[in-house]
Amino acid sequence: MLLAYAGQGYYGFQRNPGVKTIEEDLLLALFKVGYINEQILNNSRLIRLDRASRTDKGVSALGQVVSLKLPINASVGEINANLSPEIRAVALVKVTQGFSSRTYSNARSYSYTLPTFAFAHLTADSSLLFWLSMELRKQIDAVLRLFLGSHSFHNFTTGKTPLESSAFRTIISFICGEPFIIDGIEFVIIRIKGKSFMLHQIRKMVGLVIAIVRGLTSLETLRKSLAKTVVNIPLAPSVGLLLEKVHYKRYNRKYEGDGIHTSLHWSKWRREVDSFKKRLIMPLLIKA
């Protein structure tokens, strides 16, 4: 299932008793339409439910992928009729037996949208309008490049030690896009692609980039943070973060064109995804 959602007001994707989550609302919708029974509602492992990313509290998604067992006649229309407008089931496709949206993924792409004045140097005149110069964009890109490759990101999450193998992650790309203006305010989108990410990792990466560009700390802090040193990293707000796409390169290479399974490129549903972003995601990002 390709899923899009506006995460504000939700305590992340993963089910968490006592709080509002995307997974909880999805399961309730499946129960209401009759696709699952009460036993499965209380234990989603019975339908092998898995998600490609456990997005944090307040984080939105355009390309979340959920794997689960559903009736052959399941339809996104019936599911969406029982979901709030902030959550949309975009597409349902048949996959191989044993497929997991999490473990079969080879990479994930996120974006972080923020006003460019967030990069204004601490000595800048706050009364003046701020526009991102080409020189400053080059500086941002230079900082972003330092994250590329495989590193221990123990300082960019919680509960990890410097040499813990699970703290090592690979960043494939990290770039700053062209500035754009909405309602007189200049914004920019930072895009990141990696094999996988930990809790708070991207938000802390963005937070550190902002701190360096603003002159609140130095590049040396970044270098130390990727080494064995323990460094306190600022956390950027969750509202700017968006799960854009989950990549299944190996799966598509193996099963695309076999006449049975649909490839997981999702390009067929681009119009629906773009419409959802325009209506529900961008207003959240701009308002914040």
Please report, for the domain that includes residue 191, its CATH number: 3.30.70.660
56 is a catalytic site residue: yes
Q: Considering the chain, what is the average pLDDT of its residues? A: 94
Q: Tokens representing 190?
A: 């930072």
Are both 69 and 118 inside the same structural domain?
no
Are both 136 and 94 inside the same structural domain?
no
Q: Identify the pLDDT of residue 225.
A: 97
Asked whether the CA dihedral 262, 265, 267, 272 is positive or negative, the reply is positive
Environment class of residue 179 by beta-carbon count within 10 Å: exposed (0-12), middle (13-18) or buried (19+)? middle
CB 150 within 8 A of CB 170: yes
Could you give the CA distance from residue 152 to residue 166 in angstroms, rounded to a whole number?
8
Are both 120 and 63 inside the same structural domain?
no
Are both 153 and 77 inside the same structural domain?
no
Q: Considering its fold, how many domains does the chain have in total?
A: 2
**Per-residue pLDDT in tens (0 to 9) along the chain, 288 residues:** 999 999 999 999 999 989 999 999 999 999 999 999 999 999 999 999 999 999 999 999 999 999 999 999 999 999 999 999 999 999 999 999 999 999 999 999 999 999 999 999 998 876 567 899 999 999 999 999 999 999 999 999 999 999 899 999 999 999 999 999 998 899 999 999 999 999 999 999 999 999 999 999 999 999 999 999 999 999 999 999 999 999 999 999 998 878 778 889 889 999 999 999 999 999 988 877
Q: Is 248 annotated as a binding residue?
A: no
Are both 228 and 157 inside the same structural domain?
yes
Q: Identify the pLDDT of residue 123.
A: 87
Are both 236 and 117 inside the same structural domain?
yes
Are both 171 and 260 inside the same structural domain?
no
Give per-residue burial for 73-102: e unless 16+ CB within 10 Å, then b: ebebebbbebbeebbbbbbeeebeeebebe
3-state secondary structure (DSSP) of residue 38? helix
Which residues form the domain of 258?
A: 2-105+248-287
Are both 134 and 203 inside the same structural domain?
yes
Catalytic residue, from 56, 125, 183, 274: name it: 56
Are both 92 and 29 inside the same structural domain?
yes
Are both 122 and 99 inside the same structural domain?
no
Please report, for the domain that includes residue 85, its CATH number: 3.30.70.580
